[in-house]
Structure 1
């Protein structure tokens, strides 16, 4: 029987490529759109943040969309909708039309950013689950780098419309490749397609005994009487996992790293690089560092673990954001030596490396792991929605913060957030490497502390994930 594992990893991760391409694209296109249409600071912020508004709406809709259509079909429809939004942005002739189609693009990305990690987590064996989902994040970083390179090429002529148009190529590849993927066995079982669920598991594991054991664990987890919002209302333990997902996604965004993606040319302009090509070249270096550092995350996700990566990453980002604010403070006075500008680029690269090896992939990994099967669509919809709300706030306030509280103070604010996140990780975040989704669910529903739900035991692995007595 054909083994789908490689195809699944590549095809689902293409959703991450689209996500990254859109993030990287807007940083290069924005300066040329601003010049052509003579738009204000707030309009620039809205071109960036309306994508997140659309993504928020897409994430909210996923609570029912993914449950009804499944993860596979959600990814396909996300690709189609993204193509529509991209065409609209490419041919928009004013700021209002641009904003509408940025929302459409965002709606599609909201669907994909929900469905892809969820799909990968449900299709993957416990031994490689973290690596698989981290590969999704790798594709995000590759997309950002490719967009930066594309932006640099088209920056020579200022053709921002072509920056958008190139997104149609990977979108078509995504839709076609996802068409050939199997549906999630956990989704199939939850919808009553038991025979197909067993068949898919066998094609994924290539071991009948292993597939049968995993199938029985899935069936046990389906004994929960409530699902979705009904389970959220009835079960305090499920509310805890939803809360953890919200906190994790808030932490990921308020590291401040995405401002280095959305506004990198602006930041490097403040650092003293006056020409567009200098700014774009520095941006490409940041994108390249993002890609290379993500390989560290792929290597450590299933060996070292999720929690150590987060602790190190938040520490690096906190120190880096503080130093970047200090460097920009000196440069903007006009009295700093020229090498401070290059130190600012280096510091940005260090910050991005810290993010790429920690919060960028590990938050998506954890959010896809900690939710019980009958509440997984609802729980991940909530956490993904938080991601995009926080992302929208970040994109819509950065330029205003610069002019309001000052450049250095803005970066120091994010440095402070990162230090707080180290403490949250130590006392709240679980380590989930090497444990099945069903065992994590059993620990959660038995009332274990959140930081302990990744601790496995033979007794817990063999028991039903939820008894009726735990549903109150």
Structure 2
């Protein structure tokens, strides 16, 4: 529990973080955490890239293919639950390092799988690591960012995630046809090296240290950060503002469902579910739809999938430039409406060719990736330091439910002989529900984390 002295120090340290100019220290930390996030994204999409080959090699049924792509998502759901608790208990950096190590080692095990059952089991384990890393890493980046530029700072970092997704597809275009799907998972073991290096090069969040009553450590960390920033800018740091408002002491999972946090949790959970239900309902099946439904060769299918990831990267960049100006709620509502319109065109047009699907699916991912990145910014803003990782990770649980159920629903429609128009129509309806939910989001633009949770 945070003591009175700890609360005072929290205000002091938060104010000292708020006054720091952008520097090489920020670039270094964002690069190292970003490298972790890049490979987590890379590993997340490996099954989708391998699926067209696996279906032929192991003669998979639609049900087995669905298991192959959802096993990691089930692991991510459980990993997010565990990581939320760990992130608030043992620290942001150590939790991220642990999850990255699990991800890399499990990827090696997947590479040597000899059956769909073993493949799915090790993908489940890999999902435990991925699900734990991403929300806690986003929490850390939020806690070191200045409130006036937090949206751009966090979302430019979040661009690393769609870049990792795009890289997975790009590498798959060349690696899978030449070296087979197993080579992709061997590449996915690289994060093990990052897991070992991260704790030595990235300082723990001073805000988290103070929330645990570790005042002296927090003061030492913020002093080191200030010294590094001053050296890199070659200028004296501006004086910190008056101490910021106190946050509530302690933090339990049940606090997410009490008072003002109940509305925040319900809204952000609904948005996480909708965004990832639609996103993975599309992205997981696209390579297989291109090859099976439209008869395209594997390379063309993967190139079309890459196009969707590239436009998603562009969408993340655009929202990074706009979100501190227009606010979180308008950005989320606008992106969800754009998603509805893109999917609606596909549903009404009938999805008659692979090229047509590629164009409008890419328009959809432009908006979806903007939503996803925005939620990684928005979720940690809604909760106090003592409960921030739990809050962000709880959103990740609904994220994973969407990741699981989206592909399952699409697979069920396809397996039952339903048309692609029906597939895209039901995804458009879900996105429309998300747009309605976003209208109730609390605006957080320009306010410090302490002001939002005092």
The question of a shared fold, defined as TM-score above 0.5 by the shorter chain, is answered with yes
Evaluate the alpha carbon distance shift between residue 5 and residue 116 of structure 1 in structure 2; reply closer, same or farther with a 3 A threshold: same
Evaluate the alpha carbon distance shift between residue 259 and residue 172 of structure 1 in structure 2; reply closer, same or farther with a 3 A threshold: farther
Q: Is the 8 A contact 1:260 1:267 kept in 2?
A: no
Evaluate the alpha carbon distance shift between residue 231 and residue 19 of structure 1 in structure 2; reply closer, same or farther with a 3 A threshold: same
Evaluate the alpha carbon distance shift between residue 155 and residue 60 of structure 1 in structure 2; reply closer, same or farther with a 3 A threshold: same
Q: Is the 8 A contact 1:134 1:361 kept in 2?
A: yes
Aligned partner of 2:389 among 377, 401, 411: 377
Aligned partner of 1:106 among 127, 130, 138: 127
Evaluate the alpha carbon distance shift between residue 230 and residue 270 of structure 1 in structure 2; reply closer, same or farther with a 3 A threshold: closer
| TM-score under structure 2 length normalisation | 0.87
Q: Aligned partners of 1:318, 1:175: CA distance in 2, in Å?
A: 43
Q: Is the 8 A contact 2:380 2:389 kept in 1?
A: no
Q: Aligned partners of 1:56, 1:80: CA distance in 2, in Å?
A: 18
Q: Aligned partners of 2:193, 2:45: CA distance in 1, in Å?
A: 19
Q: Do structure 1's residue 25 and structure 2's residue 38 form an aligned pair?
A: no
Q: Do structure 1's residue 437 and structure 2's residue 432 form an aligned pair?
A: no
Q: Aligned partners of 1:62, 1:173: CA distance in 2, in Å?
A: 18
Q: Aligned partners of 1:296, 1:57: CA distance in 2, in Å?
A: 32
Offset of 1:73 from its aligned partner?
0.4
Q: Is the 8 A contact 2:77 2:128 kept in 1?
A: yes
> Which position in structure 1 is the counterpart of 2:316?
294
Offset of 1:15 from its aligned partner?
3.1
> Which position in structure 2 is the counterpart of 1:60?
81
Summarize deviations over 1:241-263 as a string: whole Å, max 9, x none.
32233122123223x12233222
Offset of 1:77 from its aligned partner?
0.6
Evaluate the alpha carbon distance shift between residue 314 and residue 97 of structure 1 in structure 2; reply closer, same or farther with a 3 A threshold: same
Offset of 1:288 from its aligned partner?
1.9
Q: Aligned partners of 1:345, 1:291: CA distance in 2, in Å?
A: 16
Q: Do structure 1's residue 422 and structure 2's residue 435 form an aligned pair?
A: yes
Offset of 1:279 from its aligned partner?
0.9
List gaps (5 residues or longer) in structure 2: 1-19, 231-235
Pairing of 1:274-423 with structure 2 (within 5 A) = 274-327=296-349, 329=350, 331=352, 340-356=353-369, 358-404=370-416, 405-423=418-436
Offset of 1:162 from its aligned partner?
0.2
Q: Is the 8 A contact 2:102 2:129 kept in 1?
A: yes
Q: Give the secondary-structure state (helix, strand or coil) at the position aligned to 1:344.
A: helix
Q: Aligned partners of 2:101, 2:135: CA distance in 1, in Å?
A: 16
> Which position in structure 2 is the counterpart of 1:252?
275
Evaluate the alpha carbon distance shift between residue 174 and residue 323 of structure 1 in structure 2; reply closer, same or farther with a 3 A threshold: farther
Q: Give the secondary-structure state (helix, strand or coil) at the position aligned to 2:325.
A: coil
Offset of 1:151 from its aligned partner?
0.8
Pairing of 1:147-158 with structure 2 (within 5 A) = 147-157=168-178
Offset of 1:164 from its aligned partner?
0.9
Q: Aligned partners of 1:76, 1:370: CA distance in 2, in Å?
A: 24
Q: Do structure 1's residue 217 and structure 2's residue 244 form an aligned pair?
A: yes
Q: Aligned partners of 2:356, 2:256: CA distance in 1, in Å?
A: 48
Pairing of 1:108-123 with structure 2 (within 5 A) = 108-123=129-144
Q: Aligned partners of 1:238, 1:288: CA distance in 2, in Å?
A: 35
Q: Aligned partners of 1:175, 1:347: CA distance in 2, in Å?
A: 41
Q: Do structure 1's residue 196 and structure 2's residue 217 form an aligned pair?
A: yes
Higher relative contact order (CA 8 A, sep 6+): 2
Pairing of 1:129-278 with structure 2 (within 5 A) = 129-157=150-178, 159-173=180-194, 175-202=196-223, 203=225, 213=242, 216-217=243-244, 220-221=246-247, 224-229=248-253, 231-232=255-256, 235-254=258-277, 256-269=278-291, 272-278=294-300
Q: Is the 8 A contact 2:276 2:406 kept in 1?
A: yes
Offset of 1:395 from its aligned partner?
2.6
Q: Is the 8 A contact 2:48 2:285 kept in 1?
A: yes
> Which position in structure 2 is the counterpart of 1:10?
31
Q: Aligned partners of 1:137, 1:271: CA distance in 2, in Å?
A: 33
Offset of 1:86 from its aligned partner?
0.4
Q: Give the secondary-structure state (helix, strand or coil) at the position aligned to 1:168.
A: coil
Q: Is the 8 A contact 2:272 2:372 kept in 1?
A: no
List gaps (5 residues or longer) in structure 1: 332-339, 442-464, 466-472
| TM-score under structure 1 length normalisation | 0.84
Q: Aligned partners of 2:319, 2:239: CA distance in 1, in Å?
A: 27
Summarize deviations over 1:58-98 as a string: whole Å, max 9, x none.
11112321122200001111111111210110111111111
Task: Name the Cα RMSD after superposition.
Answer: 2.3
